Amino acid sequence: MRNPILPTAIAAGVLLLVSAFGAFAQQQSAGQQACLNKLNKDGSAVAKVEGKIVVGCVKSAGGGKLVGTAQDCLTEDPKGKLQNVKNATVAAETSLCGTPPDFGYTSAVTIDDAAVQGKLDLTADIYGANLDPAVISCATNKAGCRCQQTVSKVVEKLAATKLAIFVKCKKAALHDGATSAAGLSTCVDDASTVGSIAADTKGVIQKTLTGLNAGIVKACDMPGVTSGAFPGTCTGTSGGALGSCLDVQVECRVCQTINRFDGLFVDCDLFDDQIANASCTTGVGPAPTPTPTVTPTPTATATFVPGVVLQGALTATNGRFNYNLMLGLAGANSACNTHFPGTHACAYSELQSAEAAGDLDGLKDIGNNTVTGFWAIDSGQPALQQCNDDALGGSGLNWEYATAHTASRGQKVALNNATGALGVLQSSLQCNISGTSWVGCCL
């Protein structure tokens, strides 16, 4: 449990430390804010891709599908996805940062390297300095293998959640008139700052932590495979203690990443567990592959960066889903997994979580169309509010309606694409003639 007074004291100390740097700073111009916000958003995308690489390495190593070593896998980029998002950061800096910001700014290369290094260090915190001896083989210990893969995925989600919260808080701080690095640092460690990581104003972090603890109990503790599954800093712990320990590691590495992104001075050692105990000092993972110098395109094309919960959206459809040559939710789930591996069609509750995480603003679908609403998929609602195929001899499944001449209707929710805010849930809409809407893809 955080001490709500301590982070405020830290913030005050940071203010004194950086006052010399910010003495002549002023509110950043719209152009400077655009530069800062885009670089942080792109840096978060780099961190997310590297996080997926880490999860993939643990999975492939456990499944015996790696050609090389698991440790080498962490710094490999065979499909070039990591380099692509790194290049986007460099391109954004070239196009948006002609007038460099006065604070909270380093460089695209620094941000890219920090994003990757933070993930590598976190992996070493969890599994030790060498991933190879830590990975449990699925062939010899299926339960242990599943335990590692389950926890790795949720830990990466937790880290992405915290980084996304900072980026959104920083954007608000700049908009509200922040004039120094201290005004951005509070978005990390000040529980009195609305929208900060420490405040967890919308409870998104706590929700993810609850999921992490539940995953540990179900996938690790109950099968009796927790011992030895995470031989790094948290070795010897289980249940809630393991979840808390993993959260401390995430706090540390996310804090360090943010400091490197923006040239801040947050005391990460104090922030991670509220104790000055050298628990968060230097990195322990391998050095990331250096970012090569690239020649960016003159103008960067605006693209939607995958969020914490929502990764993207399929093209709009009527209430009879037909994706990947399959009807209903099966087709939507298949198409989501095709375009955004590991995802499924978002339920209404997941869309609400995505809204809270700031995932929905600027959302484009796979055809680059602006998303302005969703079908509200909710298995808890009556089938006749879920475009059920209730026709005589029909499938009886949701989102497969057959004809308008039955009682089947659907639910939608509008999206303000500019703000990322969802509207009021609309019910009893015709599935085929009330217009199309979108299907989101969530982790």
pLDDT one-digit tens code per residue, 100-118: 999 999 999 999 999 999 9
Model confidence at 305, in pLDDT bands (50, 70, 90)? low
Domain of 410, in residue numbers: 310-442
Residue 245 falls within a domain, yes or no?
yes
Beta strands of 209-347 (E only): which ranges? Answer: 310-313, 322-323, 326-327, 344-345
| CA 281 and chain centroid, separation | 24
Boundary residue ending a domain (251, 273, 295)? 273
**What is the predicted pLDDT for the residue at 406?**
80
Residue 1 falls within a domain, yes or no?
no
Q: Indicate if 244 and 365 belong to the same structural domain.
A: no
- For residue 366, pLDDT over 50 is answered with yes
Whole-number Å distance between alpha carbons of 399 and 15 = 54
Q: Indicate if 255 and 334 belong to the same structural domain.
A: no
Residue 16 falls within a domain, yes or no?
no
The secondary structure of 10-78 as a DSSP string is HHHHHHHHHHHHHTT--PPPHHHHHHHHHHHHHHHHHHHHHHHHHHHHHHHHHTT--SS-HHHHTT--T
Boundary residue ending a domain (247, 273, 299)? 273
- For residue 286, pLDDT over 90 is answered with no
Residue 229 falls within a domain, yes or no?
yes
Residue 292 falls within a domain, yes or no?
no
Q: Indicate if 344 and 204 belong to the same structural domain.
A: no
Model confidence at 175, in pLDDT bands (50, 70, 90)? very high
Q: Indicate if 265 and 391 belong to the same structural domain.
A: no
Q: Determine the 3-state secondary structure of 322 from DSSP.
A: strand
Over the chain, what is the mean pLDDT? Answer: 88
Residue type, 159: A
**What is the predicted pLDDT for the residue at 420?**
86
Averaged over 313-317, what is the pLDDT? 93
Q: Indicate if 314 and 213 belong to the same structural domain.
A: no
Q: Indicate if 53 and 182 belong to the same structural domain.
A: yes
**What is the predicted pLDDT for the residue at 32?**
95
**What is the predicted pLDDT for the residue at 12?**
44
Q: Indicate if 224 and 368 belong to the same structural domain.
A: no
Whole-number Å distance between alpha carbons of 332 and 310 = 14
Statement: the pTM of the whole predicted model exceeds 0.85: no
Q: Indicate if 205 and 267 belong to the same structural domain.
A: yes
Residue 105 falls within a domain, yes or no?
yes
| Greatest mean pLDDT among 260-264, 295-299, 308-312 | 260-264
Q: Indicate if 334 and 263 belong to the same structural domain.
A: no
pLDDT one-digit tens code per residue, 177-190: 999 999 999 999 99
| CA 373 and chain centroid, separation | 21
Q: Read off φ and ψ for residue 400, nearest 5 degrees.
A: -130, 30
Residue 285 falls within a domain, yes or no?
no
The number of domains in the chain is 2
Model confidence at 384, in pLDDT bands (50, 70, 90)? very high
The secondary structure of 84-143 as a DSSP string is HHHHHHHHHHHHH-SS--SSS---HHHHHHHHHHHHHHHHHHHH-S-STTTPPPTTT-HH
Model confidence at 309, in pLDDT bands (50, 70, 90)? confident
Model confidence at 29, in pLDDT bands (50, 70, 90)? very high
Model confidence at 359, in pLDDT bands (50, 70, 90)? confident
Q: Indicate if 252 and 369 belong to the same structural domain.
A: no
Residue 254 falls within a domain, yes or no?
yes
Q: Indicate if 70 and 131 belong to the same structural domain.
A: yes
